[in-house]
Structure 1
C-alpha cells in the first residue's frame, strides 16, 4: 500500500521544526527511509518513507519551503507530528542540501523548478560561497 502525505503547515518548537501530519495518517506507522527526491512538475521535494506493509512519500510543496530553509539553518532534522506523536525525518538535512546544490543552475529539473528552488533557498546557497 502506498501512503501519500502532503505537508502544508509546520511550526517552530524551540529550534525544532515540526511538520503537521493530517489525522488520517498514523504518524507512528511511518518509518523514515532517509532519502529525498523531487517532483519538479508539482514543485515539490519528496521525502521517502516506509511502513510495515507499505511505502510512501511525504510531499513538501513551495508553501513550506521557508520552513525547510529554517531546518537547514538549525542543523536539526525536522519531525512529522500528529498531536503528541512524532517521528524524526532522518537524513533530511543531508538529502535536502545535496538536492538544492544539485538543482542550482541545473535546468534538467525544469527551468521553473530550478528557478523556484534557487530563489527559495538563496540564503542557503549564498551562505556557502
Structure 2
C-alpha cells in the first residue's frame, strides 16, 4: 500500500516555509529524495521521500501553492513539519520550476491541473 501524507497548510518562519499535514505525522525516519512528480487527478505536486527503502508520497495541495510561489521568489527553504521532526525538502524549487514549465499549456496533465498551475505560478 502506498504511504501518502497530505499537506494542505503552510506557515512562514522567517525565510522558511513549513508545510503542515492534515493529521500529525512522524517524519524523524523519513529522508528527502529531491524529486517531485505530479498527481493531476488530485491537483497536487508530490514530493518523493523515503523511509526504510520505501517511497512516501508527500502531497502538496493547491491550497498552499500561492505560498510555494512566494517561497520560490524569495529563495526560501521548504520543510515538511511533522509531530517529531522537520524534513527539509531538498531541490524542491528546481524540481517545481521544471514541472511548472512542463505543465504550461500541456494538455497531458489535464485541463484542470494546467489551469490551476498557470493561474498560481504563471499569471499573477
Q: TM-score, normalised by structure 2?
A: 0.90
2:10 — aligned with what? 10
> What does the per-residue CA deviation read over 1:8-39, in whole Å, with 9 as the maximum and x for residues that have no partner?
1110000110112432x211121111100001
1:80 aligns with 2:72: no
Q: How does 1:1-129 map to 2 (within 5 A)?
A: 2-21=2-21, 22-23=23-24, 25-83=25-83, 85-122=85-122
How many angstroms does 1:82 deviate by? 2.6
Runs of 5+ unmatched residues, structure 1 = none
More strand, by proportion:
2
**Runs of 4 or more above 6 Å deviation:** none
Question: Matched residues in 2 for 1:108 and 1:64: separation?
Answer: 23
Relative to its length, the structure with more helix (as a share) is: 1
Aligned length: 123
Structure 2 Cα separation of the partners of residues 43 and 2 of structure 1? 18
| 1:115 Cα deviation after fit | 1.1
TM-score using structure 1 length: 0.87
Q: Residues 34-88 of structure 1: CA distance to partner in whole angstroms, max 9, x if unpaired?
A: 1000011111111001012432100011111111112211212301113562110
Aligned equivalents of 1:89, 1:3: Cα separation in 2:
17
Which secondary structure does the structure 2 equivalent of 1:29 belong to?
coil
- The Cα RMSD (Å) is 1.7
Alignment gaps of 5+ in structure 2: none
Q: Tell me which moved more, 44-53 or 87-96.
A: 44-53
